Amino acid sequence: MAAILIDGKATAAKVNDEVRERVKILKDRSVTPCLAVVMVGDNPASLSYIKGKQKALSETGMEGRVIRLPETTTEAELLTVIAKLNSDSSVHGILVQHPFPGHISEEKVFNAIESRKDVDCFHPLSLGKLLMGQQCFLPCTPQGIVYMLKELKIALSGSHVVVVGRSNIVGKPLALLLTRKEFNATVTICHTGTKDLAYHTRQADILIAAAGKIGLITGDMIKKGAAVIDVGVNQAPGTNRLHGDVVFEEALEVAGCITPVPGGVGPMTISMLLQNVLESAERS
């Protein structure tokens, strides 16, 4: 029996409907939630991501303020733009689209964003609060994954979750989030240095692939009936087709449920970003 497809678009639409209603309440108080997106250069993938975010912001009644800077922008100039956005009371969230040009330090940029506007949860203070279980914006992709699992009524408490990938955007914060007492999962993190990856992935009640490598997880690496969340968005060489980290056709025959690529995790990431911007506006 084929796995159930997890419809990220439908779940995201539900979240966006709730966000839209809360935005209306704020607008009645003359507050319009605003996300400022800063982009340096003309990376085509980044432009596409920004368009998607702008569309979602507009559809929920929020403001999307895009600041595009030339590739030649210096690190000091970018930090000055961020400082102005930090002090602008009409801006509730700041997102600097990466990747950055090589002459700009990712660390300095993320550190420059005030934590109260850090809706992507990249600032060290935000990540520290996440580690300590304190109130903070939750990172968008991990938050979206947990939301989907809860919507599907997949038990997290006591489940063994294997996360393949250790990025600061997905793998590490997701592991921190899942081990919080309210979720109570047991988490194993695997990465490029893991020996016998298949041994670990076959133990997973919930397998989350976030390594950024096409076809890394094959069907024989998945436990029968496991929930499979594919975070990978990889473009096949010489094509415009997107692939996940999981060999979808093989996994479909083994997993209990699985996210497609695209249409799985991606829409939820944007919805959680909208939710974080909204919460920032509500706090203000």
Separation CA 197–CA 221 (nearest Å): 8
Active site residue 97: yes
Q: How far is CA 37 from the centre of its chain?
A: 16
Catalytic residue among 97, 143, 223, 245: 97
Active site residue 245: no
Separation CA 193–CA 217 (nearest Å): 15
CA-based diameter of the chain, in Å? 57
Catalytic residue among 120, 205, 230, 245: 120
Active site residue 120: yes
Contact status, residue 255 vs residue 209, Cβ threshold 8 Å = no
Backbone phi and psi for residue 163, each to the nearest 5 degrees, phi listed first: -105, 120
Residues, the chain, total?
284
Q: Kindly report the CA angle at 95 between 63 and 60, in degrees rounded to 5?
A: 30
Backbone phi and psi for residue 68, each to the nearest 5 degrees, phi listed first: -100, 130
Point out which residues pair with 187 in neighbouring strands.
Answer: 161
Catalytic residue among 53, 117, 172, 223: 53
Give burial (CB, 10 Å; 0-12/13-18/19+) of 18: middle
Separation CA 20–CA 73 (nearest Å): 35
Residue 125, token pair as written in the block: 């203070």
Active site residues: 53, 97, 120
